[in-house]
């Protein structure tokens, strides 16, 4: 009888220990999966890349300013490359990459599509200044973080200098336009309301 009691206690203790170990492993897995913010970052960056490429193409078609056209082409080239690199990182880590931009980004694109000439240039360049200011700060933070996925950290580290270069470039265009007066007065009273809203740059594209 005593032997049976000892055996029962041994089995019970083993089961409890196993449950505890299982819980611990689950917790570690959940912590490691801290992939939720990483996955969110991937989604935002992927949508940002797609938006920048679409707007860059729009700039090459609608702009009357050679510098704006060249910047738009730079956005198409650099963000297409970044998009491909991000897809590789996402595939390796089993993250889902969105196939389309967000509703907000789509609305921003539709708004710019309605503009033309100097009004388009003002709105597009100011939007790019706002977006890239946010992007540079976000990528710098991501690259310096010790908690993000290593592949994503490497991607952010590689991409940050390019975004910083974009910001420097677009600020120079913005300043040149301001000095020449092309970002100043609205051409006609009829489109004053729409142009003013566009020139604010809107809420921005959020990442890249």
CA distance 87 to 45: 10
| Average pLDDT estimate for 103-114 | 96
Contact 195, 123 (CB under 8 A): yes
Domain of residue 26 covers 1-32
Residue range 8-37, pLDDT digits in tens: 444 454 544 454 444 444 333 333 443 348
CA distance 168 to 121: 17
Predicted pLDDT of residue 37: 87
Range from 39-48, 144-153, 183-192 carrying the lowest mean pLDDT: 183-192
Same domain, yes or no, for 84 and 102? yes
- First-residue to last-residue Cα distance in the chain: 72
Q: Is the pTM of this model over 0.75?
A: no
Our CA angle for 108, 47, 104, nearest 5°, is 30
Same domain, yes or no, for 93 and 16? no
Same domain, yes or no, for 86 and 169? yes
Same domain, yes or no, for 7 and 60? no
Same domain, yes or no, for 94 and 165? yes
With 0-12 / 13-18 / 19 or more C-beta atoms within 10 angstroms meaning exposed / middle / buried, residue 42 is buried
Same domain, yes or no, for 4 and 58? no
Is a pLDDT exceeding 60 seen at residue 74?
Answer: yes
**208 pLDDT tier (thresholds 50, 70, 90):** low
| Average pLDDT estimate for 165-176 | 97
Instruction: For residue 58, give every residue at least 6 positions away whose Cβ sits within 8 Å of its Cβ, in sequence order, or none.
Output: 72, 109, 112, 113, 124
Predicted pLDDT of residue 197: 40
Total domains in the chain come to 2
């Amino acid at each position: 009888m005593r032997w049976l009691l000892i055996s029962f206690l041994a089995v019970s203790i083993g089961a409890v220990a196993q449950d505890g170990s299982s819980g611990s492993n689950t917790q570690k897995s959940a912590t490691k999966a801290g992939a939720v913010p990483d996955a969110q970052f991937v989604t935002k960056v992927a949508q940002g890349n797609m938006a920048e490429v679409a707007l860059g193409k729009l700039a090459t078609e609608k702009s009357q300013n050679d510098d704006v056209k060249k910047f738009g082409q730079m956005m198409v080239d650099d963000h297409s490359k970044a998009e491909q690199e991000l897809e590789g990182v996402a595939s390796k880590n089993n993250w889902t990459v969105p196939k389309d931009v967000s509703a907000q980004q789509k609305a921003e694109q539709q708004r710019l599509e309605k503009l033309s000439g100097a009004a388009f240039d003002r709105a597009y360049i100011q939007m790019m200044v706002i977006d890239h200011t946010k992007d540079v700060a976000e990528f710098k933070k991501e690259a310096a973080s010790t908690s993000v996925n290593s592949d994503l950290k490497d991607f952010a580290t590689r991409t940050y200098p390019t975004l910083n270069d974009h910001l420097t470039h677009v600020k120079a265009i913005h300043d040149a336009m301001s000095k020449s007066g092309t970002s100043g007065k609205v051409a006609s009273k009829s489109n004053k309301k729409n142009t003013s809203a566009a020139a604010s740059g809107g809420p921005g594209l959020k990442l890249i």
